Amino acid sequence: MIKTIDDFAVEGLRVLVRADLNVPLRDGCVADDGRIRASLPTLTALTTRGARVIVCAHLGRPGGQPDPKYSLAPVTARLGELLGRAVELATDTTGPAARAAVAALAPGDLVMLENLRFNAAETSKDDEQRGAFAEQLADLADLYVADGFGAVHRKHASVYEVALRLPHAAGYLVQAEVDALSRLTANIRRPYVVALGGAKVADKFDAFGSLLAAADRILVGGAMAFPFLVARGDKVGTSLLEASQVGAAAELLRRAAPGQIQLPSDIVVAAEPGDSGAVVAADAIPADQMGLDIGPQTAVRFAAALFPAQTVFWNGPMGMFELAPYAGGTLAVAQALTDGEAFTVVGGGDTGAAIRALGLAEDTFGYVSTGGGASLEFIQGKTLPGLAALEAS
């Protein structure tokens, strides 16, 4: 049984909140603040109840050492704007600046620690190194709160080891994620349709087998489609493709029931991203062109498959939605979900960013998850270290 922050009297306690604030930046500012907004209910509840809140998070992959490019300063500034209060950023994670900032906290105050991944021990494969860093983090606090669902599938010091060293609880975000994703693993309302896309293909291949066993239909777009097209004998020009995934795609096509896996029948292609796109048949992509979106025919077909569904899991946009010529497929899928009656889980940071960029309200979907890889592993039934640590007494 996982305890939540409502199970603890937090007034006066130093509460270390592991948030997921790994957001995209553009020109030194936060480009999409969805994950920051998702952390607000927990942070607001704790500060309102008089906790001394210490927020820790990572940003990017700085390689285990300080790098100004990956500083949490822009994230801290945006968090302060959303909270309507100034938020201090300690200039280190567990050093003198962090300890001084924590010591100065009054009940209801909040401070952010600098990027956890500036310390190589955070992500180390060595248990002792991670444990030593976790001890330093634990020394700052009286209670640990896991609220970064997007990181709970990682056995990192701030995600796993700290929870074993302190009284611990789930924040509201982690609680909501578990509740929503659990509806994709038991007593599923059918038809259950999965839409998979995006450019991060490897993680989805790991999950595809489990989804094949659970879903009535799987719609495949984005870069995810290209290994399947090649597996059935098509050429994909200069499209994003890892040749090693073609064999896996072929095996999945072999295992699938007839019609269970739906692939694009037409593709929007261009020589380079940003060029005006042309629509071609999926089996006729020119050798010097790359696929950048599903075509209009496919968009209509996918929307028709999604509309009658009772449960939908959507992970990954259908194309390079950031550029207008290639946003049509993603918009069509999103619109079909808002028009239908299904309980819909939108999974992954890129997918959430896509619906916000396209101007769609998040509350028109059943649940918008903050965890890409974490949500995929959860619905496969895998043990997630961050959740397992919360279950430990």
Maximal C-alpha separation, the chain: 65
Phi then psi for residue 208, to 5 deg, are: -60, -40
Instruction: State how far the Cα of 13 lies from the Cα of 212, in Å rounded to an integer.
Output: 46
Share of the chain above pLDDT 90, in %: 86
pLDDT greater than 80 at residue 18: yes
| Burial zone of 86 (CB within 10 Å; 0-12 exposed, 13-18 middle, 19+ buried) | exposed
- Note the pLDDT tens digit of each residue in 282-326: 999 999 999 999 999 999 999 999 999 999 999 999 999 999 999
- Note the pLDDT tens digit of each residue in 24-57: 999 999 999 999 999 999 999 999 999 999 999 9
pLDDT greater than 90 at residue 333: yes
Domains in the chain, start-ordered, CATH in brackets? Answer: 5-176 (3.40.50.1260), 183-379 (3.40.50.1260)
| Burial zone of 162 (CB within 10 Å; 0-12 exposed, 13-18 middle, 19+ buried) | buried
Tell me the catalytic residues: 35, 200, 349, 373
CA neighbor of 348 nearest in space, from 332, 330, 336: 330
Mean pLDDT of 126-148: 98
Q: Which stretch of 226-230, 235-239, 379-383 has the lowest confidence by average pLDDT?
A: 379-383
Instruction: State how far the Cα of 235 lies from the Cα of 374, in Å rounded to an integer.
Output: 32
The pLDDT score that the predictor gives to residue 205 is 87
Query: Between helices 34-48 and 73-83, what is the axis angle to 10°?
Result: 60
Handedness of CA 57, 149, 24, 52 (dihedral sign): negative
Q: Quickly state the pLDDT bin for 371 (edges 50, 70, 90).
A: confident
- Note the pLDDT tens digit of each residue in 115-136: 999 999 999 999 999 999 999 9
* pLDDT, mean over the chain: 95
- Note the pLDDT tens digit of each residue in 55-64: 999 999 999 9
The pLDDT score that the predictor gives to residue 1 is 81
pLDDT greater than 80 at residue 203: no
pTM of the predicted protein model: 0.91
Instruction: State how far the Cα of 322 lies from the Cα of 280, in Å rounded to an integer.
Output: 21
Looking at residue 157, the DSSP 8-state letter turns out to be I
The pLDDT score that the predictor gives to residue 295 is 98
Q: Which stretch of 9-13, 16-20, 216-220, 242-246 has the lowest confidence by average pLDDT?
A: 242-246
Instruction: State how far the Cα of 253 lies from the Cα of 242, in Å rounded to an integer.
Output: 17
Element (H, E) at 52: strand 52-56
Q: Supply 312's token pair.
A: 């939908």
- Asked whether 321 and 327 are in contact (CB, 8 A), the reply is yes
